């Protein structure tokens, strides 16, 4: 019975049933319109991608530890592989393998509760990577490769892996499902509204599909959703859903935009295998890159605040 973890929680069961109910309603509404124009075709492909991914994510996150952490770790390693392919570092094994090893050590330190090692790993990797030019007796492109490996690790092997810490909490699956729903909903509203009605865009060179109108409407709708589904959270207090909604809105797009900067600088649109018309692993987790650590520490601070009261 321990294997089923969060699946034994009635609230988690209801949350998953609710997710698939709304996916079904959305799919039935979108199906007749899927060939009408480019926007509806894109929406349909996104819907299919979630129809494929949502059952897998929900199933695994609901299982007992350490299965969710292992799943999150595998996602991180696959995303890192895509990052190396995208940036051209993939063929230099001396650079990428220390980064992979540091990521595996991050996953292990989460599992064994060695938080001090987890927080030391960025500096350890930083020092190791700068020894590689000495081993190779080479200086050309060494700074670029070192910097890209550090970015990959800080984005994916450190920041995103805070989701692993959350997965270890009691009811951690509910926290993760909640923040994923909010970040994905916010991004969908922004893109949809910006395509249809967007006029003002201050960063059109980096994120041409995001408008000021989309950001505002997305914020309002996401905060309403955060309140509407707040029962998914294990703690019934308004500070938790307000903080989660704000983080999803203000921080959620930063990872996507940051990856967009890297892609455009390299002249690369998408990397990795497509899943029903949507990009690879990085496209699925980039909104969580900055959300994960901020969400983790925010919930921890709120917990400590209420324990001290």
- Structure tokens, 13: 């069961």
Looking at the DSSP assignment, which residues form a beta bridge with residue 267? none
Q: Please tell me the predicted confidence (pLDDT) of residue 30.
A: 77
Residue 280 phi, psi dihedral angles, 5° rounding: -80, -155
3-state DSSP call for residue 173?
A: helix
- Structure tokens, 273: 């295998």
**In this structure, what DSSP letter does residue 287 have?**
G
Q: Please tell me the predicted confidence (pLDDT) of residue 278.
A: 54
List C-alpha distances in Å: 283 to 82, 133, 240, 256: 10, 32, 27, 8
What is the model's pTM? 0.90
List per-block mean pLDDT (blocks of 10 residues) for the chain, which spans 309 residues: 81 88 82 74 76 87 93 96 90 93 97 95 95 86 90 96 95 94 87 73 73 86 92 89 94 84 74 52 89 96 71
**Digit-coded pLDDT (tens) for 218-264:** 899 999 999 999 999 998 888 999 999 999 999 988 888 888 888 78
Q: Please tell me the predicted confidence (pLDDT) of residue 294.
A: 96
Reference 69, options 112, 19, 24; nearest CA is: 112
Count, in order, helices (H) and strands (E) of the chain: 14, 0
Are 193 and 259 in contact, with CB atoms under 8 Å apart? no
Buried b (16+ CB within 10 A) or exposed e, 185-205: bbbbbbbbbbeeebeebeeee
Q: Please tell me the predicted confidence (pLDDT) of residue 307.
A: 56
List C-alpha distances in Å: 132 to 16, 90, 157: 47, 15, 20
Q: Please tell me the predicted confidence (pLDDT) of residue 70.
A: 96
Q: Please tell me the predicted confidence (pLDDT) of residue 20.
A: 87
Residue 275 phi, psi dihedral angles, 5° rounding: -120, 105
List C-alpha distances in Å: 67 to 17, 107, 174, 208: 21, 12, 15, 38
């Amino acid at each position: 019975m321990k294997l089923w973890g969060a699946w034994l929680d009635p609230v988690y069961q209801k949350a998953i049933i609710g997710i698939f109910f709304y996916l079904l309603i959305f799919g039935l509404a979108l199906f007749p319109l899927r060939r009408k124009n480019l926007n509806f075709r894109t929406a349909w492909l996104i819907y299919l991608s979630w129809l494929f991914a949502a059952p897998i994510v929900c199933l695994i996150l609901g299982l007992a530890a350490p299965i969710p952490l292992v799943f999150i770790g595998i996602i991180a390693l696959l995303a890192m592989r895509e990052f190396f392919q995208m940036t051209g570092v993939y063929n230099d094994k001396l650079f990428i393998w220390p980064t992979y090893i540091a990521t595996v050590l991050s996953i292990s330190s989460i599992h064994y509760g060695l938080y001090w090692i987890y927080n030391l790993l960025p500096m350890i990797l930083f020092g190791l990577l700068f020894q590689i030019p000495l081993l190779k007796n080479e200086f050309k492109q060494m700074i670029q490769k070192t910097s890209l490996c550090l970015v990959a690790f800080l984005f994916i092997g450190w920041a995103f892996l805070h989701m692993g810490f959350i997965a270890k909490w009691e009811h951690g699956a509910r926290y993760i499902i909640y923040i994923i729903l909010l970040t994905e909903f916010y991004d969908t509203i922004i893109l949809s509204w910006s395509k249809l009605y967007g006029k003002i865009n201050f960063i059109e060179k980096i994120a041409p599909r995001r408008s000021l109108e989309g950001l505002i409407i997305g914020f309002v709708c996401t905060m309403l959703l955060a309140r509407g589904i707040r029962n998914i959270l294990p703690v019934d207090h308004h500070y938790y859903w307000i903080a989660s909604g704000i983080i999803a809105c203000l921080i959620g797009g930063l990872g996507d935009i940051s990856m967009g900067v890297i892609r455009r600088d390299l002249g690369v649109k998408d990397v990795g295998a497509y899943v029903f018309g949507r990009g690879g692993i990085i496209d699925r987790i980039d909104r969580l890159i900055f959300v994960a650590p901020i969400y983790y520490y925010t919930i921890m601070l709120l917990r400590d605040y209420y324990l001290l009261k």
